[in-house]
Chain A
């Protein structure tokens, strides 16, 4: 394992996994069903936040193909970040 691979894995498992968990949680109210009381899309993202982080963290740690993991995590980060950012700053 090269030093570059180790650094990339640390970056993906550290700041990237945390950022992915945050933006996925932030974007969930935009697509998650509201449910019978109209609150599921507000509370379930908060409850699932540690699970989203754990999934991103262990995926980054255990992926054999680190390049693919980088693309998938970056994609999640960009798509969800853009959706949440649009809702906060760019919406009507």
Chain B
């Protein structure tokens, strides 16, 4: 990688509280929930009733459109409430913690021997399939989809993100086992994106198809989008998958022991906290539970995700490993009728090309050309510039830097949706 590329990017200095003493602590919240992703339509067939006692990892529901894929209980729990919308669309499955319910054991004998079909079925049954993200479009991959490449993200440069390398400490065995299993799902290369330093996996981990990519410390170098854009662009015919390194280690542990570890490393940061926490909690944890006892009094917002790309939420998002607690500024203290009228009537202000914008794209592509293609709805130029490899989170830094309205990530999502509709997907 050229020197300019490895030094590119920005380190936005976002405020956070001083770290708590005691390092990483495990903390299961009393409540957890399974929720759909934003703008995801998830139709379910329930496998158990409200009030059922479920072991951690036990199947709770199946996807109506892909019956092979199960949703599993995030912890040993009682299924407290099932909220489905019209067409049995998932709104929320709420669980209460019941430690005595134990852990669900999966049948892993075939998958352990490296049978690709068995690994696929196991991942679909154990709820790991939903964690995979397929580009372009950023959806869960189709049940039989075979990717052209897989990117394993052991780097995360979002501000205050937990360190993926620290998550893998002591789990090297599980990680290489998971990596080997993942490699069975593709005939193409497996890319491991990691910070500079010793390699996290040997070259023989995936039958010689493993390629290690080093990422610098600045955002957005640790995002999958720009790495995929540079190394193996995603197209509708040749999708590229992405999975977090901790989930890969979970897959390895599942193959080893037959049950899911069920803990995820999460950092709880932000200016409205008295201490910054590093926790291990269940998927779908209650965010208030995670920041309990550390919040400064007053109005605040709890985001699932980083301050750049997070969304206000009650439950930890499917792929999020960060919780951000911000001061919220409710209502603007000073507003004048004239400036309000002007803001309503005016077209949004354009983005001015600066060095900051160039760095927000990691100098990976012609930023202004992409922004112009996005804001004029020119999907052909957008595709030509390699936009299909990107997702909302990749443009979150550019949104932050330029304060663009409408947000570039929203424009990107609209363009991706249009292209997906045109492809008939």
Do A and B come from the same complex?
no
Q: Which B residues contact A (CB, under 8 angstroms)?
A: none
